[in-house]
Every structure is written in structure tokens, then in C-alpha cells.
Amino acid sequence: MPPVRKPPIIIPALATPSNPSQAAAFIFVHGLGDEAEGVESIARQFQAANKLPHMTWVLPNALENHDLATNAWYMPTRLSPYPPSRPELEDDEDEEGMMATVAYVTSLIDDLVKQGVPEKRIVLGGFSQGHAMSILTGLVSGKYAGKLAGLVGLSGYLPLPERIVGLREDAGLSKDVTDDVEVFLARGTADRLVPKRYHRLCYEKLFELGVKEEKVVLKEYEGMGHSLGGAELRDLCEWLERVVPVLE
């Protein structure tokens, strides 16, 4: 039998606006081997500090990958700290798995829009594999590319960099990114799972695609490994308050 996906954890806003057009939501996608419960504490911390009280949190679950014996959004490939000497011998990325995840994440955005949350009040982001899937969805989704409030990538990378233009064209999008979606990208300097060069390759590719440099916030945190840190979450909170502010 195919694996059954657990439903996402939904954490309602502390203060639900009377007008749905003033609502906001953050879809936060966990990393490889984790699940929604593993990142639930982040949302709880924000709410305990009365931060972003108008925001609903949507925390989806990846399917269990039987080959990996753990939860995964797609089959991972090795991320080398050095450019490959023979790129043709590199393992192919799991485009099929990634695009299936893009479709699932898109369905979560659909659900929010049906509830009346404006596309421009929805932020999509995640950690590690969640970073990869959030940025990819924000670039190639035929329904929502360029229409969301912002994209967040924490300790991850940009997958399928050479396929993005083709995937955008397949989705009926322009080759170039001409929207004003805000982007927050961050990593720790001691991250050994996703080497620094992937952080650089990610934002360089975004700029190459046409993402405006002034719309991208880049952060590195000294000594932080492949994890989420307090300073990072404080900066993320400030960014979210700016991107999807409380509407009076």
C-alpha cells in the first residue's frame, strides 16, 4: 500500500481578523527525517511571545519514503562542498518527487485561499528540504508563482537550477521572474550538511532569473550548524512582521 500522509498541523491565529482579507498565514515545511510536530514549537514560541498574533501556521507532513526509511519530500542527493569535477557523473535530482511535493504544497495554498486568505498574505517557507521545496514552489507553481507575500529558505538550497526556466514555461509562466515577492534566505556558518556554496548558488540563481536583489534578505549566523537558531528566528519574525503586517 502507498504511504498515507498525515494531515498538516494547523495552528490558528491568536487574534482572528473579522475580515478574512486581513488574515495571514505561514506554510512552514519541515526537513528530511522530520515531521510537522518537529517544527510545531517554532509557531508556539512565536505565539507565546505574542508575535504575529494574526498569523495562522500550516505545518505539513512529508510522506514516509520506504527506501530511506524516514519522512522525505523527495529523494535527496549528496551536496558536495566543492564543485564537481565531472558534472555528468552527478546523480540526477528527484524531479518527479519534487514536483509531486510542489503539487501538494500548492493544494495547501488552495485551501487557505478558499478560506479567504489573500495570496499576498501567505508566506511559504521551510527548513533544509523544506527550504528547497518552498523556493521551488514559489518559482514554478503555475497558480502561485509571483503571487505570494514571501518565500523563506532556511539551511537549504535551490533544487533543479537548470530546469527552472523549463518548468516555468511548462507552467505557462515567463522565463524571467518579474514579480515583487520578498525572499528571506538564511544559514549557519557551521552547517556541514548543506555547504555554504549552495547558499550562494541559490541566491545567485534567483538573481539570474530576475528576482530583484533588494527583495532578498541574506543572513548567515556564526557558529550555527544545520539547525534553527534564536537569532535567526528573531530576524525571521521581524521580516514576517514587515512582509505580512497586522492590518487595522
Rounded percentage of the chain residues whose pLDDT exceeds 90? 87
Helices (H) and strands (E) in the chain, counts: 6, 9
Statement: residue 178 has pLDDT above 60: yes
**Domain 9-77+94-243, CATH homologous superfamily name and number:** Alpha/Beta hydrolase fold, catalytic domain (3.40.50.1820)
pTM of the model: 0.95
Q: Specify burial of residue 29 (Cβ count, 10 A radius: 0-12, 13-18, 19+).
A: buried
Give the residue extent of every domain in the chain.
9-77+94-243
The answer to which of 16-25, 130-139, 172-181, 230-239 has the lowest mean pLDDT is 16-25
**Is 2 or 131 the better-scoring residue by pLDDT?**
131
Q: Give the residue-averaged pLDDT of 191-218.
A: 96
How many residues are given for the chain? 248
Mean pLDDT of 80-95: 73
Strands 55-59 and 9-11 come out as antiparallel
For residue 133, which of 162, 98, 163, 173 has the smallest C-alpha distance?
A: 98
